[in-house]
Amino acid sequence: CTTVFCGVLDDETGNLTYSSAGHPPGVLAHPDGTTVLLEGGRSVPLAVAPGKDRPTGTCTVPARATLLLYTDGLVERRRVPLGHGIAEAGRALRDGRDTALDVLAGDLMARLAPADGYDDDVALLLYRLPAPLDVTFPAESGQLATVRRALRSWLGRCDLPPRTVQNALVAAGEACANAIEHGHRDSPGGAVRLRAEALGGELRLSVRDTGRWKLPDPVSHPHRGRGVTLMRALMQQVTLTPGPAGTTVDMRTRIAP
């Protein structure tokens, strides 16, 4: 006798088809903070009624929503209705919709832990659509168009306002160009990494090079050196972290409803 939740997710459309054999319902937190329980496709645990057809449920996981699947050890407590634990899991998921998934997993475990610790095994799965974009490319100016296309395509899956998309493209383009021109001026072809992540209400971009940053020369290039200023104008938070192993530019902006 075993409980199980089985789902098939199309990561292009967000369509999820699932069936639950005695398992607690999955929780879906939308970017606006509303939560939905996946209560369709429910039936008895495996081996209780062998050979019986299993019902299925369907739903759509929208862009930037967070899906939580879990075992009952996460939410079940002695002398406490099961619905109370499921509701608390939904609130924790809603509150963490702007948290990276690896951090959110730990936050959920800590927030839902009983005072005397878990007395049952706990497994959970978190998913957010689309998955973060992670591109590594050689520090060559000819790569910028390819990287821009990849970022534009990914941003198109995030359900963002057009202005946010355009600002992100320009800011990331400036950061990548700076990494090539300044970070790898003396070591062309070195690795540059672009990472983008869309959370419930925030877009995060980072560009990391492996070279040594050099400030532009205002005398020989009087019309250059405005990239960082442009990034700060387009994104709400920009942090530059130089170091002996390279420079990282982190950029963040809120996503308007």
Output 142-146 pairs: Cβ under 8 A, ≥24 positions apart. Answer: 143/180, 143/192, 144/173, 144/176, 144/177, 144/180
The Cα–Cα gap between 238 and 236 comes to 7
Under CATH, what is the fold of the domain 133-254? Heat Shock Protein 90 (3.30.565)
Domain ranges for the chain, please list them: 4-128, 133-254
**Strands laid side by side in the 133-138 sheet:** 133-138, 191-198, 202-209, 246-254, 237-243
**Burial track 163-201 (b if 16+ CB lie within 10 A, e otherwise):** ebbebbbbbbbbbbebbbbbbbeeeeebbbbbbbbbbbe
Identify whether the C-beta of residue 191 lies closer than 8 Å to the C-beta of residue 138.
Answer: yes
pLDDT in tens, 161-213: 999 999 999 999 999 998 888 756 666 668 999 999 999 999 999 999 987 65
Res 210: pLDDT: 83
- What phi and psi values does residue 90 have, to the nearest 5 degrees? -65, -40
pLDDT at 88 over 90: yes
Amino acid letter for position 228: V
Q: How many CB atoms lie within 10 A of CB 34?
A: 11
DSSP character string of 212-252: ------TTT-TT---HHHHHHHHSSEEEEEEETTEEEEEEE
Res 120: pLDDT: 85
The Cα–Cα gap between 112 and 89 comes to 7
End-to-end CA distance of the chain: give it in Å, rounded: 45
pLDDT in tens, 39-86: 999 999 998 988 888 999 999 999 999 999 999 999 998 888 999 999
pLDDT in tens, 94-126: 999 999 999 999 999 999 999 888 888 899 999
pTM, 2 dp: 0.84
Looking at 3.40.50.2000, 3.40.109.10, 3.60.40.10, 3.40.30.120, the CATH number of the domain 4-128 comes to: 3.60.40.10
